[in-house]
Chains A and B, each alone.
Chain A
């Protein structure tokens, strides 16, 4: 058997077997528990890089900026 035939047979076998890689399709649910992917904290990534206090300050500043009375007083 020539090398080319062996390679062709191996490729054919690999092709035929590709459909056999069955993954479990049924999801196991735990009653009353979140079943999705875990989420990260909003301050975990850039630009805060884990600095929760900086994130808190940014949000507080933005929130208080919605108050025209304090903005007018600050001027």
Chain B
């Protein structure tokens, strides 16, 4: 069973905002609601600028789901975190809980009233009939039900943003890192993730010597 995830490669993202535009266009997202956005770190610092495309990360243990007072969130069998807008009361707790700022609230009502929460659906719609006008109006297009991946990932020109089954996405990223000039295994693997490069012992050195006590 697929476990859907996004992955953004900061080495490739050129801050073109193509993913943001694709999402806006695909779902006809209203003004003021940004299901996806590009965040730039070290903006303007030569050589240190990195951009990342951020949206709902469809967490395995989603904090939005934990704090929702009306329990309007659910996780699909593919690991996509979705919510029922008919149940949502627009309280905003999910926005406080989310580490990525994914939940968005339309403010087009009277007196700046906060509407029901809107967020990235991994292009999987919501709990209405698949690809019905009702589903499109509330959640946007259901590309997953059409056998397609999210529009942002498929639209990405440099393929910085990957989406799909987590195993397959990880394989693509591994291939890519291993093929990068001058880097490769040094920026992908156990030592990078869990320890410093100088402290990490190669497998040959860490193996016990013959005759040594265990």
The distance from the CB of B89 to the nearest CB of chain A, in whole angstroms, is: 10
Interface size class of A (residues with CB under 8 A): 35 or more
Contact present for B2 and A56 (CB under 8 Å): yes
- Distance between Cα atoms of A31 and B69 in the complex (Å): 9
- Distance between Cα atoms of A46 and B2 in the complex (Å): 19
Contact present for B124 and A42 (CB under 8 Å): yes
Contact present for A67 and B72 (CB under 8 Å): no
Contact present for A63 and B149 (CB under 8 Å): yes
The distance from the CB of B60 to the nearest CB of chain A, in whole angstroms, is: 16
The B-contacting residues of A in range 42-67, CB under 8 angstroms, are 42-48, 54-56, 58-60, 62-64, 66-67
Interface SS of A by simple majority: loop
Contact present for A66 and B172 (CB under 8 Å): yes
Contact present for A37 and B86 (CB under 8 Å): yes
Indicate whether A62 sits within 8 Å of B147 (C-beta atoms), given known contacts A33-B71, A35-B72, A39-B76: yes
> Could you give, for residues 70-103 of chain B, a 1 whenever the CB lies within 8 Å of some chain A CB and a 0 otherwise?
1111101110001110110000000000000000
Q: Which of A30, A36, A48, A69 contacts B147 (CB 8 A)?
A: A48
Q: Which residues of B contact A55 (CB under 8 A)?
A: 147
Task: Pick 11 A–B contacts, CB within 8 A, sort by A.
Answer: A27-B70, A29-B70, A35-B72, A35-B87, A36-B71, A42-B144, A59-B147, A60-B165, A66-B163, A66-B169, A68-B159
